[in-house]
Structure 1
Amino acid sequence: MIKKILFGFSIIVFLSFTFTNNFRELVFEKLEKYTNSFPEKIYVQTDKPYYSIGDDLWYTAYLVNGVTHQRSQKSRIVYVELIDEQDSIIAKKQLFTNDLSVAGDFKIKKNFKEGHYLLRAYTNYMRNNDSDYFFQKEIPIWNLTESDDTTEKIIATPKVNTENNQRLASRPKINFYPESGNLINGLFCKVAISAKDNKDNNIDIQGYIKDSDNNVISSFKTFDYGLGLITLNPEVNKSYFASVIINDEELKYPLPKALSNGHNLNVANYGNQIIINVSSNDPIGLKNSFLVGHLRGDLIFEKLETENIDTYTIKLNTKLLPDGVANFTLFNSSGKPVCERLVFVDSPDNDVAVNVSMDKTLPKTREKVTMQLDLKDEEGNALSGNLSMSITDIDVVAQSTKSENIKTYLLLNSDLRGSIENPGYFFEKNDDPKKRYLLDLIMLTNGWRRFTWTNLLDTNTEQKDKFQPETGLYISGYTKALKGDKERISTATRITFMGKPPYQDKKQSDQNGAFKYGPFVFSDSIPTLIEARTKSFKSDNERKNRFVSIFLDEPLYDSPKVIRNKIFKPFLDDDSSKITNFINQAKKIAAIDSLYLEQATLLDEVVITARKKAEEEKRREELNQRTNYGSPSNRVDMADFDDQRHLSIFDFLNMLPGVTAYNDSISIRNQGTPRIVVDGIPVELSEITYMTGNEIDFIDVLKGADAAAFSNAGNGVVAIYTRTGDFNRNINVKRKPGIIDFTATGFYTAREFYAPDHINGFDEALKQDIRTTLHWEPKIVLTDDASRAEVSFFTSDARSIYGIKIEGITDTGIPVYHLTTLEVD
């Protein structure tokens, strides 16, 4: 009998050991899969926190691997949108990046309305999670024509921070967060307290913790960020509540009910080290429990306890860890997560020094300043990476080290379920015990939001990503038979980009007629042709070879729905003087621009008109030299339509008086088909239908006596002259069937920030310079070969102190933030 009991016990121990080890391997496998299929993060730096109607919004978007914060190896396309208060996307840019960052801009047009706009950035791959994972930043925009009291409409209501409970007009909201997730009878536990008013503003409040017998156990008080802390050792058969006096009335808030048995995970963060104490009052103690620590999903610690003990302590050196939110989770012997604790790692050894030096310590107005900057680690070694920099007038643009920046966003807010207001406060001073204490309270009251262990370990919920990373642009569609039942058929297809130089590729569509070309990387827009043949392009002599219809796919998706749950809000000082100064400055700039434009227009009319007429006459003579009839009845010069060269020849013919062109037909004054001549050679109508403005230099129309130079020209003459002067008749194809044309939209290329040259510039000397953004440098690249970068700019006419804000990220994934000043005398 004893042998059977021992054997049974051995079996249980063996199975328990096997389960625990298998579970341990499963955790490792899931974490490794998460980090290998890493999420992506985007941060966007703007030149200013707020703007006025007519202003330019300059930005740099940083796209990184969400685990390492290094350059993402997945997506290459970033979408940046400007969204109004009605959640309508009023502007959208599609940017391509093969680096850590990419620059862009928006013109805040005069038809925009005043209000709180949303700047949103994401990749297609990021859409596999909800929009809380997108970068979303609130952008206040003011209308300069409105009355001055509109300032109050946009400035955020100051947060309530009252020390006297009697001032509260309504019942506050108080929540309790036991450190391990649960209170356990007989185990000491830290409990964080969060207090907010009915508008979710953080508040200071004080009261007492009492037991069910109304005995006072301890007092408590919340202060900065509405947070406080108590310690509690729950007793069996007792409950606890917080007692707060509001307007001479006692309000009671029950604490979570304590469990009779369970586990406790206590963490103390001392900056240079983290001490973790694990305890349990279960009958088997901590036997077969598994403690896992990860930072953004990357494993940093693990311990499988095989002994029947009640407690153990671990010390971790933060010098060996990257900065960010570390997550410690304790699993019990059944593989259930029973305790979870967040800790923020901020090791001084990971700090990056931004060194800025200027050739002038106190520059004058309208003087050139040359700046040099580099990045150094704690040991003084040069670091490579990407930076962006804005220089703004502090008198009109609020600057604060407490505001959100690339460091606080990537290391804190992007990984937490909640949002931390003014998070830069925690990075203002290194190794500050008070700030570390407050930040630890924030860790106690938030959860890590990138995944939950229950979902991660559930093998039945794994789903394939719906949205794939994009590396370029694709053009896809399908082909169908033109005659008969018009079913989808496999055909020879060919794409042609009518760019400089032209690009062409061929593919066979599949059995369902589907074809797909790409990925392509090009800027702006390119006129594009897609052709299809039932057999091959070598069989063009057969008429039926063209009996193919071509259809392009619709865009795979529209922009995601706008959800404003998690928004990065700009720092707006409670004192509205800077906003008032900004609006007044913007009004002055608008008045200066208007006056300068009026003067420039008058100058053009007086001085430049003669020069323009001379240039037009010279151009006319050049074109007439290509003809044998001199001047035509009417002419279209493609030089006047550089931004419309993608249009077809029929579009340009319809611009001519008396000419009608549609459905592959042309007539002059509603007569029959005119004589068509290309570079002096008579051609058939079908031979020009494929032409676009990209191939044409100019088009002449000859009527009546003007057409007498050509035979058989009773219906007039359309004379087309190509840009090359050599019309190749071998490439003639009919527009339909078997061919479609469209304009392919490429990536947006950011405009160049206007930086006046006060030494060599002529126009700048006539115009007052009072820019609110003195300089914007969207991309500063520091490489191993050139560890120092140089930036030059001119000061304006304003004697002021300017804030220099530098943000970026090193190639090793360390976010960089630096704020300094420049005084202009």
Structure 2
Amino acid sequence: MTRYSFRFSVMIMSMVIALLSIPKILNAQYPISTTQTIYLSFDNVTYSEGDTVHFQAFLSNNGIPGTDSKTMFVDWFSSSDSLLAHQAYPIVNATAAGQWVVPTFYEGANFKAIAYTSAMIRNDSYLAFHKEIPILGRMGSASQHMRIFPEGGSLVAGVSNRIGYHLDGLQENNLYLLSNLGDTVQPILTMGKQYGTFDFVPELGKTYRIGATDIVLPVAQSEGIAMEATTYPNSVVVMFRKTKNFLSDSMNLIGYMDGEIVYQSIFLLKNRDSGFVEIKTRTLPTGKMQLFLSDKNGEILLYRPIYVPSREKEPIFFNLVDVTKAGSATKGLQLNYQDSIPVRLSISIRDTVFKEPSNIKGWLQLGKNIPDSALQKNDPASIQALDEVLRCSVLTKSKQSFSENKNYFSLSGKVKGKIQSTDISLILRSEGGYQPLKLAIDANGYFHDSTIVLFDTCYLALAKGQEKLSLDVDSLPPSAFSKSPYSSNRVSLSYVKSNTQTSEIIQPTWISFYGDTSRGHHVLPKVVVQAPKWRTKADSVRDIYMSDLMKLQYDNGRAAYDINFENDPSVYLGGAKLWDLLLGKLPGFGYNPSNPSKLPVNKAFLDEIEMSPEGVSDLVLPQIAFVRFLPRPDSTILIYTKKYHDPSLKARIAHNWGKSIIGYTSYIPFGQSMAAKDKSIPDRRKTLYWEPGVTLSKDNPTLDIKFETNSIAKKMLVVVEGVKADGTPIHYEQVIDK
């Protein structure tokens, strides 16, 4: 082997070693392995004052139902961007359901909903789901925003750069690129499109802005490399242009999809000013691919997401059948699911006038408000339009904040004062009454109990005998935003005269927000409780609920299985029934959802009163506290509802109430309004039916729907949205006759 071939082999080997180390660098610096997105499915598209807004959230991590986060926050803002409400919901099985009531005397033309987890806003608030919802019958101008995005993330002087722009709410046909000297560099022909691009060669030492606005482009680098990626039906062509003084030996191009490497290559540009790489996408799965360009040391130089389009026709997963009985005032439908993979979904039925394009796939797959129709087309024009949207993306480094909370919000805090015991006696007051709590504390006074999941507003007090102690209690963190993070870049239009144009043009005035990405970074307040391993309660839930007589009969050594639902968030999911809730949690529980008429038990007791199994089938789940199931010999179930013991607890409080704890917002099921029951007044309900948290599968493929129609709708729109167990987002809609 000659020394030249040896040097070449060593160079290739070092390049391969560097390429293998780059994924570790990427995962350490950038949020690649945990790309989290969220989508809110609403029961309608518009509301009036006093209406209840119902929604279901779907969480996705790297394209599959997300289980990392346990808490979702929803902030509601007025049209003037003031915070109206801050809510928190438990995420169960990658979903959450909730509601919010529009204030009775609300005067705005619209309101905004922003949903996020703590993981989403560590780096950029634009990872959060956001939606502007109109108030019915009110006219208001849409929010107007503008952002610019140098492709790859930076500008390089002396070479051609491609710039993406996003005009939200603006209908401008022409904008102008100006230099710091005031001269017009070139027009930007937007043609009224929301997304688009323009190319230009920046000069070293000059700065640039969009005419008559505050939008300033980043300062061009004196040396570096620029990229230009173009997506085609079966490939992606990535063009690179570099300055002559950029002397990196080799470049590494890596493609990530759903947290895994699907493409990687090494190429040389040392002796060339430009070059391109073609990525064949025919064998890649459909979805978002993140492209990273790095040098041989793993330093990230450029970033660009692209979308690999689908090559298959979108399947239809549902069949809707009208089963309304002749002469019946109640509308009956049957929804049939036609796939083997289970799906969790929400169902809304409303007047056909309340319709808008679906974007569940855009949010969950790309984290952007993109219509689903744009992701289902494979023609060059549609691919180019989608490419212009994805060009408007930024990459932010992972911020060092607190670790993601893997547990549901629970009771925690610290006792101050002279501690003389290893536990503390507390009394919790909520709407249901008073409840005693005995929690372990460590040597420093910290206490924590993950079995107590709090909902709504509760109050905590020390029991008597502990008068010398005081209490600090942790609660859910406040809102991440004092005002909508999408309001600071609001654009106002004004008539100005360009210095190189004779005609007057409308140009936007923009308040800088996105130019500095660090200003778009929001972190939730941190709550840290450091303590050793906690002891469990001395008394079990069984001892609290079961009487001595029932213990003699049903706690006598026979095989029995217990479930504590006292603080289980799953009971607050809409659409769940008792037998569905117990399915999979109790060994030997023989219930088949496809045959609901066959009950899984022969004997049933509710609060130790024997009832028929049919009588307990429709229990209100949030009322259930404890269940014991005995499969043999007669398949018996004992059900206990929540109760608060000892009404004299109020007299045993050592201190006045004042330790307020804000917990999760309770889920309130959708109910028929009085208008549907009172036939003497016109029934003008916008939403006729809403059911979140529905699970359908191969074994349980059918959902029976019954609802009352209103007095104005001639046709109705059925909207089904959900996520399959493999992460596939689903949207289905059908118009039905009244």
For normalisation by structure 1, the TM-score amounts to 0.57
Say yes or no: does 1:480 pair with 2:394: no
Residue 383 (structure 2) aligns with = 436
Alignment check: 8 A CA contact 1:527 1:744 kept: yes
How far off is 1:277 after superposition? 5.2
Alpha-carbon distance in structure 1 between the residues aligned to 2:279 and 2:161: 19
Residue matched to 1:372: 335
The secondary structure found in structure 2 opposite 1:223 is coil
Distance, in Å, in 2 between the alignment partners of 1:801 and 1:321 is 39
Residue 53 of structure 1 deviates from its aligned partner by: 1.4
How far has the Cα of 1:291 moved from its partner? Answer: 0.8
* Matched AA of 2:423: A
Q: Secondary structure at the match of 1:51?
A: coil
In the alignment, structure 1 residue 357 sits paired with structure 2 residue 288: no
C-alpha deviation, 1:370, in angstroms: 0.9
Deviations 1:481-518 (A, max 9, x none): 3xxxxxx6664324566899998664442232222222
Partners in 2 of 1:224 and 1:521 — Cα distance? 50
Structure 2 unaligned residues grouped into runs of 5+: 490-642
Quote how far apart the aligned CAs of 1:360 are: 5.6
State how far apart, in whole Å, the 2-side matches of 1:765 and 1:800 are: 17
Distance of aligned partners of 1:28 and 1:278 in 2 relative to their CA distance in 1, 3 Å threshold: farther
Aligned counterparts, 1:64-463, within 5 A: 64-65=60-61, 67-68=62-63, 70-85=64-79, 87-141=81-135, 151-152=138-139, 154-156=140-142, 177=150, 191=162, 194=165, 201-205=170-174, 221-223=189-191, 225=193, 263=225, 265-276=227-238, 287-295=249-257, 297-305=259-267, 311=275, 313-324=277-288, 326-333=289-296, 335-349=298-312, 351-359=314-322, 366-374=329-337, 376=339, 382-395=340-353, 397=354, 399-401=355-357, 405-414=359-368, 423-424=370-371, 427=374, 430-444=377-391, 446-449=392-395, 451=396, 455=397, 463=400
- 1:410-455 CA-to-partner distances (Å, cap 9, x unmatched) read 23344xxxxx6xx3275286223222222222333x1234x3xxx4
In structure 2, do the counterparts of structure 1 residues 531 and 805 end up closer, same or farther at CA, with 3 Å as the change threshold? same
Q: How far does residue 91 in structure 1 lie from its aligned partner after superposition?
A: 3.7
Taking a change above 3 Å as real, the CA distance of residues 364 and 261 of structure 1, as seen in their structure-2 partners, is: farther
- Note the residue ranges of structure 1 that are not aligned, 5 or more in a row: 143-147, 161-172, 247-252, 377-381, 415-419, 457-461, 482-487, 534-545, 570-723
**Aligned-partner SS, 1:53:** coil
Name the SS of the counterpart of 2:104 in structure 1.
Answer: coil
Per-residue CA deviation, residues 753-785 of structure 1 (Å, 9 max, x unaligned), is: 224799xx9x45555433221222222212343
Q: Distance in 2 between matches of 1:124 and 1:474?
A: 19
SS at match of 1:128: coil
- 8 Å Cα contact 2:59-2:65 kept in structure 1: yes
Q: Deviation digits for residues 674-709 of structure 1, max 9, x if unmatched?
A: xxxxxxxxxxxxxxxxxxxxxxxxxxxxxxxxxxxx
* 2:52 matches 1:56: yes
Counterparts of 1:521 and 1:241 in 2: how far apart (Å)?
54
Partner of 2:669: 752
CA distance in 2, matches of 1:809, 1:472: 25
What is the distance in 1 between the residues matched to 2:147 and 2:65? 41
SS of corresponding position for 2:393: coil
Q: Give me the whole-angstrom Cα distance separating, in 2, the residues matched to 1:781 and 1:767.
A: 36
CA contact (8 A) 2:309 2:375 kept: no
Shift of 1:562: 2.8
Cα 1:769–1:283 shift into 2, 3 Å? closer
- Conservation of the 8 A alpha-carbon contact between 1:363 and 1:369: no
Give the superposition deviation at 1:552. Answer: 3.2
1:810 Cα deviation from its structure 2 partner: 1.6
**2:688 aligned residue:** 774
SS in structure 1 opposite 2:65? coil
Deviation at 1:290?
0.8
Aligned to 2:711: 797
Q: Which residue of 2 aligns with 1:417?
A: none
| Closer/same/farther in 2, CA of residues 62 and 739 from structure 1, 3 Å limit | same
Show the counterpart of 2:469: 549
Looking at structure 1, the residues matched to 162 and 94 of structure 2 have their Cα atoms a distance apart, in angstroms, of 41
Distance 1:568 1:775 in 2: 37
Distance across 1 between alignment mates of 2:210 and 2:487: 34
- Count, aligned residues: 576
Give the AA of the match of 2:482: V
Aligned to 2:736: 822
Measure how far apart 1:33 and its partner are: 8.2
Cα gap change, 1:202 to 1:178, in 2 (>3 Å): farther
Deviation at 1:75, TM superposition (A): 2.5
CA distance in 2, matches of 1:105, 1:277: 48
Max radius of gyration: which structure?
A: 1
Measured on the aligned residues, the alpha-carbon RMSD in Å equals 5.4
**Relative to structure 1, is the Cα distance of residues 256 and 90 closer, same or farther in structure 2, using a 3 angstrom cutoff?**
closer
Question: 2:98 touches 2:668 (CA, 8 Å); kept in 1?
Answer: yes
Is the Cα contact below 8 Å between 1:184 and 1:263 reproduced in 2? no
Q: In the superposition, relative to structure 1, how do residues 180 and 405 fare at CA in structure 2: closer, same or farther (>3 Å)?
A: closer
CA separation of 1:470/1:563 partners in 2, compared to 1, >3 Å: closer, same or farther? farther
CA drift at 1:301: 1.5
Q: Given the superposition, is the C-alpha separation of residues 426 and 208 from structure 1 closer, same or farther in structure 2, using an over 3 Å criterion?
A: farther
Shift in alpha-carbon separation, 1:321–1:751, aligned structure 2, 3 A: same
Structure 1: which amino acid aligns with 2:732? H
Call closer, same or farther: CA 1:155–1:263 in 2, change over 3 Å. Answer: closer
1:408 shift after superposition: 1.9
TM-superposed CA distance for 1:82, in Å, is: 2.9
Indicate conservation of the 8 Å contact 1:479/1:509, yes or no: no
Q: Residue 578 of structure 1 corresponds to which residue in structure 2?
A: none
State the distance in 2 between where 1:560 and 1:236 align.
Answer: 40
Q: In structure 1, what is the Cα distance between the partners aligned to 2:172 and 2:210?
A: 16
- The 5-angstrom pairing of residues 318-717 of structure 1 reads 318-324=282-288, 326-333=289-296, 335-349=298-312, 351-359=314-322, 366-374=329-337, 376=339, 382-395=340-353, 397=354, 399-401=355-357, 405-414=359-368, 423-424=370-371, 427=374, 430-444=377-391, 446-449=392-395, 451=396, 455=397, 463-465=400-402, 468-481=405-418, 491-495=422-426, 506-521=438-453, 523=455, 530-531=462-463, 548-553=468-473, 555=475, 557-566=477-486
Where does residue 597 of structure 1 map in the other structure? none
Q: Is the 8 A contact 2:71 2:408 kept in 1?
A: yes
Q: Is the 8 A contact 2:153 2:394 kept in 1?
A: no
> Offset at 1:58?
1.3
Per-residue deviation at 1:96?
2.2
Cα distance change on mapping 1:48 and 1:736 into 2, 3 Å? closer
Q: Structure 1 pair 391/202, CA: closer, same or farther in 2 (3 Å)?
A: same
TM-score by length of 2: 0.63
Q: 1:469 to 1:123 in 2, by over 3 A?
A: farther
Q: Give CA-to-partner distance per residue, 1:709-747, whole Å, 9 cap, x none.
A: xxxxxxxxxxxxxxx9x999xx99983659989786654
